[in-house]
Amino acid sequence: MTKRLTRDEWMLLKRANKFGAKRTRLAGEEKSFPSKLEAKVYAYCKMREQLGQIEGLVRYASVSLSAAGIKYKPDARAIYSDTKQEFWIEAKGAVTERFRMIIKLWKAFGPGPLEIWKENRRGIYLADTVIPKNGTNND
């Protein structure tokens, strides 16, 4: 005979992340973040926005990578205040095979720079900035 799961047990199983990410909510944000790293990077970007370094910060702006219309949603999109160049932001814990493919597609078809943020014991840091071949918007 199988034991029936309680609602709480079911929700824990359903929401389990294979990389151990824990959903996190920031004060002032109506939606939660899939991971603590993503929440930290977004909070840092909000601070950059308040300092006037960037503007127009938006979460999960969809991007089309290739003529085949492969869609990808980086964690955020913003504009550098000094150059008015649009760029995208990705907080990345575990680098998967799928993400390696996204980076290759971004280099060929990306609409602008993609900042890749990671975390170590000292905190978050900008690990890489992927610049597409043309360096500007493809549209």
pLDDT of 18 reads 56
Q: What is the pLDDT of residues 61-120, one digit of tens each?
A: 899 888 778 899 999 999 999 999 999 999 998 888 989 999 999 999 999 999 999 999
Parallel, antiparallel, or unpaired for β 86-91 and 114-120? parallel
Half-sphere exposure (CA, 13 Å, Cβ side) for 19? 11
Q: Where are the domains of the chain?
A: 22-130
In Å, what is the CA distance from 44 to each residue of 106, 112, 129? 23, 20, 16
CATH 3.30.360.10 fits 22-130, yes or no: no
Report the greatest alpha carbon distance in the chain: 66
What number is the average pLDDT over the span 41-57? Answer: 94
* pLDDT greater at residue 6 or residue 108: 108
pLDDT of 87 reads 97
